[in-house]
Amino acid sequence: MLFSQAVFLPFLLATFLLWLPWRATGRKAVLLLASLVFYASWDVRFPALLGATWLIVFIVPPAVQRASDEAAKRRIQTAGIAGLLLLLFFFKYFGFFVDSTRPLLRLAGLPTAPGALRIILPVGISFYVFQAISYLIDCRRGRLAPSRSWLDTALYVAFFPLLLAGPIEKGARWMSQLQRYQPLRFDNLRDGVERMLLGYVLKVGIADPLAPFCNDIFGRVATAGSGELWAGAFAYSLQIFTDFAGYSLIARGTAKLFGYEVIHNFEQPYFSRSFSEFWRRWHISLSTWIWDYVFNPLMSALLRRIARWDLLTVRQEMRIAYPVAAMTTMLLCGLWHGAGFTYLVWGGLHGLCLTGERLLVYRGRTIPMRARLRGAGDVARFLVGLASTQALVALAWLFFRAASLEQVRYFVTHIVHWQGSDLAGRFAVMILVYAAMLLTLDLLEYRTRSEVYLLRLRPAMTAAVCMALLVVVGLYMATTKPLPFVYFQF
**Cβ count near 381 (within 10 Å):** 13
Query: 3-class DSSP state for residue 124?
Result: coil
pLDDT of residue 116: 40
Which residues lie closer than 8 Å to 34 by C-beta, 6 or more apart? 11, 15, 18, 19, 160
pLDDT of residue 286: 95
Please state the domain extents for the chain: 21-183, 188-489
- Residue 208 CA to residue 193 CA, distance in Å, equals 21
pLDDT of residue 231: 87
DSSP-assigned letter for residue 487: G
Q: How far is CA 38 from the centre of its chain?
A: 20
* Catalytic machinery residues: 337
pTM of the predicted model, to two decimals? 0.91
- Residue 387 CA to residue 370 CA, distance in Å, equals 16
- Residue 302 CA to residue 329 CA, distance in Å, equals 13
User: Please, are residues 344 and 335 in contact by the beta-carbon 8 Å criterion?
Assistant: yes
Q: Which of 187, 191, 189, 193 is nearest to 467 (CA)?
A: 193
Q: Which of 360, 384, 361, 354 is nearest to 371 (CA)?
A: 384
- Residue 145 CA to residue 150 CA, distance in Å, equals 14
User: Please, are residues 73 and 61 in contact by the beta-carbon 8 Å criterion?
Assistant: no
**Cβ count near 21 (within 10 Å):** 9
- Residue 317 CA to residue 300 CA, distance in Å, equals 11
What one-letter code names the amino acid at 178? L
pLDDT of residue 98: 62
pLDDT of residue 219: 87
User: Residue 167: is the preceding peptide bond cis (ω within 30°)?
Assistant: yes
CA atoms within 13 A on the CB side of 423: 15
- Residue 50 CA to residue 32 CA, distance in Å, equals 11
pLDDT string in tens for the chain (490-residue length) = 888 888 898 999 999 999 999 988 999 999 999 999 999 999 898 999 999 999 999 999 999 999 988 999 999 999 999 999 999 988 887 766 666 555 655 555 555 555 444 567 788 899 999 999 999 999 999 999 999 999 999 999 999 999 998 899 999 999 999 998 888 998 899 899 889 989 999 998 899 989 999 998 888 888 888 888 888 899 999 999 999 999 999 999 999 999 999 999 999 999 999 999 999 999 999 999 999 999 999 999 998 888 777 766 777 778 888 999 999 999 999 999 887 889 999 999 999 999 998 888 877 677 777 777 777 887 888 888 899 999 999 999 999 998 888 888 888 888 877 776 666 677 888 889 999 999 998 988 888 888 877 767 777 787 787 788 778 777 777 777 778 888 877 6
Q: Is the dihedral of CA 474, 478, 480, 481 positive or negative?
A: positive
Interaxial angle between packed helices 405-416 and 226-257, expressed in degrees from 0 to 180 and rounded to the nearest 10: 120
CA atoms within 13 A on the CB side of 16: 18
pLDDT of residue 118: 58
Q: Is the dihedral of CA 206, 252, 172, 82 positive or negative?
A: negative
- List % helix, strand, coil for the chain (3-state, nearest 5): 75, 0, 25
